[in-house]
Amino acid sequence: MDRQYTQVDAVIMAGGKGSRMGTAEKMLLKINGEKVIDAIIKILQNLNFNISLCISENTRFLDGYHSLRTIMGQGDYALDLNYAIKTCSLPVLIVPSDVIITPDMIHDFVTSASSLDTAIATLIVNNQLSGISMFFKKPETGNLPYKNIEILRDDFFNLNYPDDYKEALQRFGK
């Protein structure tokens, strides 16, 4: 099984205010002794993606983080997503900076997404939007067709609220 995506760009979206969590630094929270964003970076690096980090004034503290290419957004997710995709080669994998993922989850998603005939593939985990998507066309005009890939996993987690962090610590370790 080839797990090397040297020709695939990946963008970690990290430009929000973190208003639901109460801090723009939520991607720096630690699960099992590792920062959430570091775990994501490690997974994408090990799969050999070309990684960029989309930040904004809200998260300027991440500029130059791990020497990754920085895409400066405006702090508006939809605008930043569009801009980030336009600066990348296709296909491009989008991953939020505040999710707990596994290498096989990303590999399986990219493999499945690549076999679909669509402009965008989105990952639905446990009946919830994960924020993970794969773009095969640039969102230059209007809405692009998309298809969902639905999976059930007990090792995926999205950190949106303080209670989510408490639950993640209980589930995945301090």
3-state class of 66 per DSSP?
Answer: helix
- CA 33 remoteness from chain centre: 20
3-state class of 91 per DSSP?
Answer: coil
Encode 113-127: b = buried (16+ Cβ within 10 Å), e = exposed.
beeeebbbbbbebee
Closest CA to 85 of 77, 59, 57, 20: 77
| Per-domain boundaries in the chain | 9-172
Per-chain mean pLDDT for the chain: 93
- First CA to last CA across the chain, in angstroms? 32
pLDDT, position 141: 67
Element (H, E) at 157: strand 157-158
How far is it, in rounded angstroms, from Cα 78 to Cα 19? 16
pLDDT, position 25: 92
Say which CATH class 9-172 falls into. Answer: alpha beta
pLDDT, position 3: 58
Question: To the nearest whole percent, how much of the chain has pLDDT over 90?
Answer: 86
pTM: 0.94
Q: Residue 140 — very low, low, confident or very high, per pLDDT cuts 50/70/90? A: confident
